[in-house]
Amino acid sequence: MAIGFRILPRDRAVPADLVARFAKLPVANVSDSMNRMTAAGPRLTRMHRDGVLAGPALTVKARPGDNLMLHKAIDMAAPGDVIVVDAGGDLTNSLMGELMLAYAIKRGVAGFVLNGAIRDADQFIAMNLPVFAAGVTHRGPYKDGPGEINVPIALDGMVIHPGDLMLGDSDGVLAVPFDAAEEVYARTMAKQDAETRQMAAIEAGTNDRSWVDTALKRLGCAMPDGI
């Protein structure tokens, strides 16, 4: 089996019930619960109108500007999958447009994360399937390969394995490792509860802000008395 031009099976994926639970949580809070160490970078921006992205990753490694393996991934995708493509971040040629988007919706694909460009941008807004991409160009793709499906990929340092949980909202995209998903969910729920209590304290005027001065003193900040 040739490295660089192969299709592998995906042997695991985060379950649908866990996907549904994560879909209700802000990506920022999930990120905080992973110690803010994982991100796909600000270049991957929302191309749809609204709504959240959540589902197990079907990964694709593609040659920049070539979408042959992306076509095959759409054919392979199970309903609810998020197709994640590392195409090197090149914006010279688009990876997909209106027709591929319509076919993916018909197949039940939950969304796309593309380290590359799209075209037919107005239709991505109108069809409103969750899609994050690095840019837009009218120039179409090639279909010659090579590429790989269901291999580990990385987007701006964020490593994604097949079956990992992909999340996205207006703050950006995040991958949660399969093996850590339940732990990250529990941590995020604890953070949600803490933020709920803090918001209630803000509304009641009882929010404790003493930590700010404590941190400034600990760090040696010079400031006048009474501030």
Closest CA to 8 of 89, 100, 72: 72
Rounded Cα distance, 101 and 106, in Å: 9
Q: How many CB atoms lie within 10 A of CB 202?
A: 10
Instruction: Please enumerate, by residue number, every residue annotated as part of a binding site for Mg(2+).
Output: 120
φ, ψ for residue 63, nearest 5 deg? -70, 140
Annotated binding-site residue numbers: 97-100, 119-120
The DSSP call for residue 180 is G
Amino acid sitting at position 3: I
CA gap 102, 117 in Å, rounded? 17
Distance CA 193, CA 87 (A): 38
CB atoms within 10 A of CB 163: 19
Classified as helix, coil or strand, 95 is strand
Which residues make up each annotated binding site for substrate? Answer: 97-100, 119
Which residues partner with 117 through β-bridges?
94, 135
